[in-house]
Amino acid sequence: MSGDGRFGARLRAAMDARGPLCVGIDPHPGLLSAWGLPDSPSGLERFTRTVVDALGDRAAVVKPQSAFFERFGSQGIAVLESAIRQLSESGALVLLDVKRGDIGSTAAAYADAYLDPASPLRVDAITASPFLGFGSLTPMIEKAVETGAGVFVLALTSNPEGPAVQHAKTADGRTVAQTIIDEVSQVNAGVSPLGDVGVVVGATIGETGHDMSSLGGPVLVPGLGAQGGRTEDLRAVFGDDLSFVLPSYSREILSQGPSVARLRDSLDRLMDACRRTVQPIG
């Protein structure tokens, strides 16, 4: 697929129009309780509907965390399907946080589940784990490019267990994370204004010495707000050019519910901070 139908082009346009910010929908039990909602499919549905109604027409990207829907079985998946549909109708790009990673026909099945236009779970992009080998993601990446979708590949995560794998050195002296970044760079080569494949880099990792200058695609940055990361710290991780960075907030915004006005005010406040920090292309 070429032109404006590609995910990277649509993401760039959405970030320019609505601002460089991704909102996570993470309806974990504690948050449902804080909203005065039961930890049940009905509570999940009310929570999700409120977030979608409040923010779907304002955020460039909305990122439901699939696990919090899956735990309710078919009823939770039904809520997720409805949210995906409503968010798409509101003009937001939907990034499903599923972190899938497998091989062969199973990886292809995941690609069909989330990236095929005929699927009820079709979204604009997914997160994926490359730690079975970057090549294992080929079916997902090929499906994404074919259908105008995107894939965000885990590279440098904020969890304390991550560095043991991601900072490990390969035979050629690069870290595992650097090989992932370099593989993504090759996929995105020659694609403008943004490639369709991005990476996930935690906001709290600090300066690691990894080179993302040739990435050519977006960087999803979770871990901001309640998890300790600050927008003003992004330059320590990415340098002066932040035009490809998509900051992601979840609890910092969601904690303001169930008030729609407070949810929107929180989004607007954080969006202003992101606009001041993340410089637009051009």
Residues belonging to the active site: 99
Q: What's the token pair of residue 181?
A: 């970044």
3-state secondary structure of 58: coil
Q: Is 180 exposed, middle or buried (0-12, 13-18, 19+ CB in 10 A)?
A: buried
Distance, CA of 2 to CA of 58 (rounded, Å): 27
HSE-CB at 93 with a 13 A cutoff on CA atoms is 31
Provide the β-strand partners of residue 96: 126
Q: Is the bond preceding residue 258 a cis peptide, omega within 30 degrees?
A: yes
Q: Which two tokens stand for residue 193?
A: 């204004």
Instruction: Give 3-state DSSP helix, strand, coil % of the chain, rounded to 5.
Output: 50, 15, 35
Residue type, 228: G
Q: Using the 8-state DSSP alphabet, how is residue 229 labeled?
A: B
- Alpha-carbon distance of 116 to 147, in angstroms, equals 7
Largest CA distance in the chain: 54
CA distance 29 to 137: 32
Q: How many CB atoms lie within 10 A of CB 214?
A: 12
Provide the 3-class DSSP secondary structure of residue 97.
strand
